[in-house]
Structure 1
Amino acid sequence: MAKTYKRHIAKTITWRCIGTIDTILLSWFITGNSFTGLKLGLAEVLTKMLLYYLHERAWFKVKAGITKNGDSKKRHLAKTITWRIVGTLDTMMLAWWISGNPLTGLKIGMVEVVTKMILYYLHERAWYKFDYGLQQRRIKKIKYRK
């Protein structure tokens, strides 16, 4: 069980790096101000890491969509959608607060829905290929091969 926490922390960190770069670039592009993008990206590092970790722990407890071999593209899609709802709401509120303009928050949030869902799905699929923190899945794979 302790190893899954390490996995979730590692996934949190890798996703946050990808997500922060995306947010900074989108915010800079939409506002035309690199400083706004940097402020939003840095603010999100704190809020999103906590929210992502909690989301990952919650999904670990939900067993829906797990197949016999542990893979489930539908499960990854469902995680993508639920995370995107949480993440986009956080981004829109932070962007509004940082820029002082609710329309800016809305614009950044709406563009981010598309880019982040694609990036997150790819992140989930990539992490599925790694057994880090999943001793039980490693054992199951060995049993199925025999």
Structure 2
Amino acid sequence: MATSSYKRHLAKTITWRIVGTLDTIVLSWIITGNPLTGLKIGAAEVITKMLLYYLHERVWFNIGIKESRKRHIYKTFTWRAIGTLDTILLSWFISGNPLTGLQIGVAEVITKMILYYFHERTWYRINFGLDRRRERKSWKKTS
């Protein structure tokens, strides 16, 4: 496997974490009414979610589903299941209230799935870390 694919997965991890953390902070703040709680939950997620997202990307890199829209939808659902469970547990731990954790987790199911789908579609159009796809495009132009 090319080293550049690892760079791509790290770049996707970082960009998604920025989007996801901002979403979590805002939702947590709205649900708890406390901006500090939102910041604490968002900060905790930076660590757990980056690790989980990177592992998710590595697994999906080796899965044989090639058609992009189906692949992105499947990835959206698998990532959301992992991400929501992580958010529920962290929110419960930080707020001390299991209902708060559940409310934040359920709210972000909707916002994060929409945001994640568009994140995937955007990265699908970017060649960074995909030497093979870039080479194929170059080959087609010269034929």
Regarding TM over 0.5, the answer is yes
Equivalent residues in 2 for 1:41-52 (5 A)? 41-52=42-53
| Percent of aligned positions that are identical | 64
Question: Partner residue of 1:134?
Answer: 130
Distance 1:115 1:144 in 2: 38
Gaps of 5+ in 2: none
Under a length normalisation based on structure 1, what TM-score does the superposition of the two structures give? 0.94
Displaced runs of 4+ in structure 1, greater than 2 A? Answer: 142-146
* CA distances 1:61-108 after superposition (whole Å, capped 9, x unpaired): 1122x14xxxx1110010000000000000000000000000000000
* Residue 64 of structure 2: aligned partner: 63
State how 1:18-33 maps to structure 2 within 5 Å.
Answer: 18-33=19-34
- Show CA shifts across 1:1-35 (max 9, x none): 10000000000000000000000000000000001
Q: Which ranges of structure 1 fall in alignment gaps of 5 or more residues?
A: none
1:79 matches 2:75: yes
The whole-number CA distance in structure 2 between the counterparts of 1:143 and 1:103 is 55
Mapped to 2, the partners of 1:7 and 1:135 lie a distance apart of: 11
TM-score by length of 2: 0.96
Residue 93 of structure 2: which of 87, 91, 97 is its match? 97
Give the deviation of 1:139 after TM superposition.
1.1
Which of 108, 111, 132 is the aligned partner of 1:115? 111
CA distance in 1, matches of 2:115, 2:136: 28
Aligned mates of 1:76, 1:141 — CA distance in 2:
21
Count of residues in Structure 1 that have an aligned counterpart in Structure 2: 141
2:103 match: secondary structure: helix
